[in-house]
Amino acid sequence: MLNSWERVAVAVKHDVYDEEMLFNTYASFLITIWNVLSPYIKEKQKKNPKWFIEVQWLAIRWKIRKDDALTKRQIKDLKLALKNIAALTE
């Protein structure tokens, strides 16, 4: 599942897929999957920090966009995580 979403995230990042349509259809699903599998992702990233980095980028991006209940501090922390992810993919 993570590999499939990794490909989707890459396609979204490169404007191959329509992010708006995917967001409206799958945002809650992806955010839930990311929340559940975050411990697994973190373990895999200990071996290679770039594993699942794109799906992580997309999940965080959509979480910021979707969750009105986030505090300013949480949004700031998530945006910092996005910057860190961007640095890894350059």
Q: In a structure prediction context, what are the per-residue pLDDT tens digits for the chain, which is 90 residues long? A: 999 999 999 999 999 999 999 999 999 999 999 999 999 999 999 999 999 999 999 999 999 888 776 788 888 888 888 888 888 876
The tokens for 58 are 């997309």
Residue at 24: amino acid letter: N
d(CA 41, CA 19): 23
The tokens for 54 are 């794109």
Helices (H), the chain: 2-13, 19-47, 53-66, 72-89
Residue at 51: amino acid letter: W
pTM summary value = 0.79
So where are the chain's domains?
2-89
